[in-house]
Structure 1
Amino acid sequence: MTSQKLLYEGKAKKVFETDVPGVVIVEFKDDATAFNGEKKGQIADKGVANAAISTKLFRLLEAQGIATHFREQLDARHLAVDLLHMIPLEVVVRNRVAGSLEKRTGLKEGTILPKAVIELYFKNDQLGDPLLNDDHIEVLQLATPELLQQLRSTATKINQILQQFFGQRQLILVDFKLEFGLKGDKLVLGDEISPDTCRLWDEQTLKKLDKDRFRRDLGGVEEAYHEVLERVLS
């Protein structure tokens, strides 16, 4: 498999065409952004950590019956994945209060939610990725009611699997973002699962071990990513 022309470059990844139909190569970058790109920087070897963490978690989910776009890890920064028709919705699963949920509800950061809250955001940089309800999604024709139900049920199952996995490694899965696409008619998990897309806290100290350390200038960003990597691979 050879990497050919660049198809897309985002904030954290590049996607390249390959000589295998329906397969692309994803390169994980060290670039870091926050607040819809308003804050920018770099985190040393973030791409290496995120590629390895995503590989481990995609394999975990596949073993539990969740279809993902993952095929293989090619080297430290590159994954071969299936090319999907991406659904323009970010699916956010929240187990504890943090980030925008704290601002919107007034609940204290860290409050344990009585049930997982699933939110849907329109993946649109120009609009700032706004939070949508089902009526908005129907009007914008972003997904059918049947697909929305499938997104929610799949996200719920992923949450159960990941909470157990991280809990065994003394990590609290506070919340996380998922992106899905279609391969034909099949719903498939895409993007990545990493400290870029998850809030992860140490179970004992509640120390933040994710991109919030970059967002909030907490320091120790590289160390946090590599601590998560070590625990995930343990």
Structure 2
Amino acid sequence: MARRRQIFEGQAKILFEGPEPGTLVQYFKDDVTTLNVKSRGIITGKGVLNNRISEYLLTRLGEIGVSTYFVRRLNMREQLVREVEPIPIEVIMRNIAAGSFARRFGMAEGTPLPRSIVEYYYKSDELEHPMISEEHITAFGWATPQEIDEMMSLALRINDFLSGLFLGISMRLMDLKIEFGRLWEDEQVRIILADEVCPDSCRLWDLRTNQRLDQKRHSGDFGDLADAYQEVARRLGILPESGPSDIKGPDTLQ
């Protein structure tokens, strides 16, 4: 059987056409990038772990009524997802000051914020994902005011649920990046979560030690990141029994 057509390749995933209309196959890569794609590396097995972690978290979100693009996991590195019209906005939920947010406001990392803060960024590697306002979003036609309200409402709900879930396994969700898309069904459109949720897209700290358990742990050597991703999967109870072995992905996609 011929290999399916590639639709998109990003920093951490590849999308292929799905087995039926309205679906895509999402393949998780082992590539890791930091500092706005200025630093690159490979963590063998990262894609396997992210696939399992995202499957678990998106399934849990679905159980509380949050609509997502996730359909089911196909194998160790691939998921079947719904095809959506992507909205080129990254929604960042800030719970505790860290990273660029802490530097921007002269705050010590780990300082709790008075409440969760929502920020918007334009999804563009070439422009290094500039921060934008609702005025930018509506002026350039990226989303309507109603869609912005829907994205914010969903983002707050997702953030609240995941914050509690991670707290239950002794981790603090410092911040979270999520993306949304328009799902067209019977000439009707609704906004759904259209992004994986894994240590690539959120900042996680150990509740007691403040040890970083996400991609931001990288400090010049990618080696220590493997342990962080495995620790998140272990605490969630989903570490593959055989370990995150290196499985060839695009070559096996039929």
What is the CA distance between 1:216 and its match in structure 2? 5.4
**Deviations along 1:78-119, whole A, 9 cap, x unmatched?**
000000100000000010001110121111111000100110
Aligned residue for 2:231? 227
CA displacement at 1:217 relative to structure 2: 4.2
Describe how 1:1-234 pairs up with structure 2 within 5 A: 4-184=4-184, 185-214=189-218, 217=221, 220-233=224-237
Cα distance, 1:36 vs structure 2: 1.8
Identical aligned pairs, as a percentage? 39
Contact 2:41-2:222 within 8 A present in 1 as well: no
Distance in 1, Cα, partners of 2:222 & 2:53: 22
Q: RMSD of the alignment, in Å? A: 1.6
Please report the TM-score for the alignment, with normalisation by the length of structure 2. 0.89
Match of residue 243 from structure 2? none
The alpha carbon displacement at 1:19 in A equals 2.8
Describe the superposition over 1:155-199 as per-residue Cα deviations: whole angstroms up to 9, x where unpaired.
000011101111110110000100110102111111210000010
**How many Å separate the matches in 1 of 2:148 and 2:100?**
22
Deviation at residue 72 of structure 1 after TM alignment: 0.5
Give, in whole Å, the separation in 1 of the partners of 2:81 and 2:119. Answer: 26
Relative contact order, CA 8 A, sep 6+: which one is greater? Answer: 2
Residue type at the aligned position of 2:110: G
Partner amino acid, structure 2, of 1:92: I
Deviation at 1:53, TM superposition (A): 0.3
TM-score with structure 1 length normalisation?
0.96
Deviation at 1:233, TM superposition (A): 2.4
Paired letter, 1:207:
Q
Is the 2:204–2:214 Cα contact (8 Å) retained in structure 1?
yes
Moved more, 2-11 or 113-122: 2-11
CA distance change for structure 1 residues 171 and 114 in 2, over 3 Å: closer, same or farther? same
Aligned residue identity for 1:111: T
**Would you say the 8 A contact 1:3–1:19 is kept in 2?**
no
Q: Distance in 2 between matches of 1:3 and 1:161?
A: 38
Greater helix fraction, Structure 1 or Structure 2: 1
Give the whole-Å Cα distance in 2 for the aligned partners of 1:233 and 1:58. Answer: 15
What are the Cα deviations for residues 26-59 of structure 1, in whole angstroms up to 9, with x where unaligned?
0000001112211100112110110000000000
Distance in 2, matches of 1:38 and 1:64, equals 37
In the TM superposition, residue 214 of structure 1 has moved relative to its aligned partner by 2.0
Q: CA deviation at 1:127?
A: 1.2
Question: Equivalents in 2 of 1:219, 1:209: separation in Å?
Answer: 13
CA distance in structure 2 between the aligned counterparts of 1:21 and 1:219, rounded to whole angstroms: 40
Q: Which moved more, 1:214-223 or 1:187-196?
A: 214-223
CA distance in structure 2 between the partners assigned to 1:218 and 1:78 by the alignment: 23
Q: For residues 196 and 8 of structure 1, what CA distance do their matches in structure 2 show?
A: 18
Provide structure 2 residue ranges, at least 5 long, that are not aligned to the other structure.
239-254
Cα distance in 1 for partners of 2:96, 2:41 equals 27
